[in-house]
Amino acid sequence: MDFSDLQIERYSRNMILKEVGGKGQERLLNGRVLIIGAGGLGSPCALYLAAAGVGTIGIVDSDKVDLSNLQRQIIHFTKDIGKKKVISAKEKIEALNPDIRVNVHPLRMTSENIRETIKDYHFVVDGTDNFASKFLINDACYFEKKPFSHGGILRFYGQTITYVPGTTCLRCLFPAPPPLDQVPTCSQAGVLGVVAGILGTIQAAEAIKYLLGAGSLLVDRIQYIDIFDMNFQLIKVKRNDDCPLCGKHPKITELKDEVEILCDLRGGN
Amino acid sequence: MNPDKTIDLRGVSCPVNFVKTKLALEYLEEGQVLEVILDPGEPIINVPRSIREEGHLVLNIINNGDLCKLFIKKT
């Protein structure tokens, strides 16, 4: 690939790395990453991927920017309040790096549209804020054989794990979402903005390493972060033979939205 | 010394001159020789050092005040 002088200067700190070089940069520029959710996790993730030169970034979000988002969703600015998040994110990415092509998907992911949406990307980042979406992304990526980064945050805490086909999936660890009344959402419990920043940045690192084919991905290991006591814990995990999705006798054999799956699982027991 | 490729990086500052040297090497075959023309001062000191750290073989450094050249064998 022939890099322009501007590209060589822009990506010089990437290219200097032995593990990246010109060929790695080429892989990044040809890379396609889909970020589901342009919120706390998706904001830093999108900005770092754009800065690194990941050539195509897809953004999924059906919401508009709200004043209460700005405490942590750093891709959106005060002037963007009321604007669609996908548009606000696209504007920032393009301003940061005109090399990047941004695909906007102003949708809410459902079992009807997610497989079609993720199909054209190399890697998916879960930046959603609810369990139904997280399990839907997990299941869709399993069926489409698509690697993805799971991330979740609450208060001062976060967790993340990367899935590539054949490794531990989210349902191996958590067969189903917790009951709705048992776990508060960020809007009820609060979350410190930096937690989103750190976790979303870890997710961006995973996407970049996947595209480069370098380093070790966070597979079969779950990373917990506790920003309050500043404690990071890495826990080894294994595939679960009883996983309802990827186990020996899967109960989930087609993509469904979480409410339906819960009914099916309960009905089956 | 007969280089397989020559690049003239006079007027290109650090670290971009190193990146350009590195890129040129990436697209050569192992064992081929790259000739790099550099500015005196920092470039002729820094570029060979960084190239050695990459594991390539610096065959020769010519540093005659005005004319600075570097011959590198890709490994």
The CATH number of the domain holding residue A213 is: 3.40.50.720
From CA A241, how far away is CA A250, in angstroms rounded? 9
Examine residue A159 and state whether it is found in any structural domain, yes or no.
Answer: yes
Q: Does the structure show a pLDDT above 80 at A261? A: no
The one catalytic residue among B4, B7, B12, B14:
B14
Q: Is B14 among the catalytic positions? A: yes
Q: What is the DSSP letter of A252?
A: -
**Complex prediction ipTM:** 0.85
Examine residue A226 and state whether it is found in any structural domain, yes or no.
Answer: yes
In three-state form (DSSP H/G/I as H, E/B as E, the rest C), the secondary structure along A15-41 is: HCCCCCHHHHHHHHHCCEEEEECCCCC
Q: Does the structure show a pLDDT above 70 at A268? A: no
Q: How many residues does chain B have?
A: 75
Judging contacts by C-beta atoms under 8 Å, the chain B residues touching residue A24 are none
pLDDT tens digit string along A35-71?
Answer: 999 999 999 999 999 999 999 999 999 999 999 999 9
Torsion of CA A77, A82, A86, A90, to 10 degrees: -40
Of residues B64 and A172, which shows the higher confidence score?
A172
The predicted structure's pLDDT at residue A260: 59
pLDDT tens digit string along A74-118?
Answer: 999 999 999 999 999 999 999 999 999 999 999 999 999 999 999
Q: Determine the residue of chain B that is closest to A18 in CA distance.
A: B54
Domain that holds residue A246: 31-268
Examine residue A235 and state whether it is found in any structural domain, yes or no.
Answer: yes
How many structural domains does chain B have? Answer: 1
The predicted structure's pLDDT at residue B65: 79
How many structural domains does chain A have? Answer: 1
Q: How far is A25 from chain B (nearest CA, A)?
A: 11
Would you call B22 and A16 a contact, using CB atoms and an 8 Å cutoff?
A: yes
Give the CATH number for residue B56: 3.30.110.40
Where are the strands (E) in A189-259, listed by range?
A: 221-226, 231-236
Domain that holds residue B10: 5-73
- Which residue intervals of A72-130 are DSSP H helices? 85-96, 114-118
**Does the CB of A16 have a partner CB in chain B at under 8 Å?**
yes
Examine residue A26 and state whether it is found in any structural domain, yes or no.
Answer: no
pTM: 0.93
Examine residue A162 and state whether it is found in any structural domain, yes or no.
Answer: yes
Average predicted confidence (pLDDT) for chain A: 94
* Total beta-carbon pairs less than 8 A apart between chain A and chain B: 26
| Nearest of B55, B56, B68, B52 to residue B10 by alpha carbon | B68
- Helices and strands (H, E) in chain B, number of each type: 2, 4
pLDDT tens digit string along B5-45?
Answer: 999 999 999 999 999 999 999 999 999 999 999 999 999 99
Of residues B67 and B3, which shows the higher confidence score?
B3
